[in-house]
Amino acid sequence: MTDPLFSVEGQVVLISGASRGIGRAIAQGFATRGANVIITGREASTLESTAREICPPDGTVLPIVCDVADPKARENLMDGIVDRFRRIDTLVNCAGVNRRRKVEDYDEETYDFITNINIRGAFFLSLAAGRHMIRAGRGCQINIDSINSVRPLKRVAPYAMSKAAMSQMTRSLAMEWGPHGIRVNAIAPGFTLTDLSKPLWSDTNLDKWREENTPLRRVGMPEDMVGAAIFLASEAASFITGQVLAIDGGTTCGLFWPIEV
């Protein structure tokens, strides 16, 4: 029997960037636990196939194409969800992009592409959902952050900057919306194996460095983020807000010295 303290059954949950990777894993986690799940992304075919593959029998996974950087698309998305389900209980901001290069080689177009999706789109999607949550007097928002917000790697400056902004967005919204019964938290994944990161971890030297600096000695998987998302959306986390939870195998605990002392 499901413990009601940790249940998300019947919730209306919107997950952006859910076609693949962490977003897909979280969407499947909610769907298999009885939530009504809406997934968004920019590619219709990928989004639709994801919905078919993760939807359990008698479950609900609704794919809606939406570019979170598009203001009109965001409003239409939220209005459509509320028209159909009459509410939104949980928003998971997972849409994100990155383009790696030396910091001096970034141009304004690339910078805008990264920040428009990672922070501008996330912020205004949060506001669109937040307005409905304020009227309802309750709600939950979960932002997918990154340990790059506190320990940035080389050649990801705009990405790291956008994730640092997301940490502060999480705290700011939690402060402002707490009196309305809305909780806002974030999950900060560490080194995680996704379609986008596979080329990095296929490099033997880099993978060895990653392992040596991860106390649990393995790479994270998208599925490792599911439990935290379910927990944060459940009644078990009803007195938790404004927090950034690192799910990184211990990477941010410290650094391993290359010598024994």
Can you tell me whether residue 72 is helix, strand or coil? helix
- Looking at the chain, the whole-number percentage of residues with pLDDT higher than 90 is 84
How many residues are listed for the chain in this entry? 261
At residue 67, φ and ψ (nearest 5 deg) are -90, 110
Is a pLDDT exceeding 90 seen at residue 205? no
pLDDT classification of 252: cutoffs 50, 70, 90 = very high
CATH numbers and ranges of domains, the chain = 4-249 (3.40.50.720)
Q: What is the pLDDT of residue 40?
A: 96
How far, in Å, CA of 105 to CA of 145, rounded?
24
For residue 239, pLDDT over 70 is answered with yes
Give per-residue pLDDT as tens, 110-165. Answer: 999 999 999 999 999 999 999 999 999 999 999 999 999 999 889 999 999 999 99
* Among 14, 23, 69, 159, the one annotated catalytic: 159
Question: How does residue 63 score in pLDDT terms, banded at 50, 70 and 90?
Answer: very high
Tally the C-alpha atoms within 13 A of residue 227's C-alpha that lie toward its C-beta.
4
Residue 261 binned pLDDT confidence (cut-offs 50, 70, 90): low
- Scored b (16 or more CB within 10 A) or e, 179-191 reads eeebbbbbbbbbb
Going by pLDDT thresholds of 50, 70 and 90, the confidence category of residue 248 is: very high
Predicted structure pTM score? 0.95
| Contact call for residues 99 and 160 (beta carbons, < 8 A) | no
Residue 162 CA to chain centroid, in angstroms? 13
CB distance 248 to 188 below 8 Å: yes
Average pLDDT of span 83-104: 95
Question: What is the model's pLDDT at position 259?
Answer: 62
Distances (CA, A) of 30 to 205, 221, 229: 36, 17, 9
Residue 258 has pLDDT above 90, yes or no: no
Whether the predicted pLDDT of 199 surpasses 80: no
Alpha carbon distance 130, 140 (integer Å): 9
Task: Say yes or no to pLDDT of 184 above 60.
Answer: yes
User: In the chain, helix, strand, coil percent, each to 5?
Assistant: 50, 15, 35
Q: Which two tokens stand for residue 219?
A: 């790479």
Residue 31: CB partners within 8 Å, gap ≥ 6?
Answer: 37, 54, 55, 56, 59, 60, 61
- Residue 159 annotated in active site: yes
As a whole number, the mean pLDDT across the chain is 94
> Quick one: pLDDT at residue 260?
62
Give 189's strand partners.
247
End-to-end CA distance of the chain: 50
CA distance 19 to 16: 8
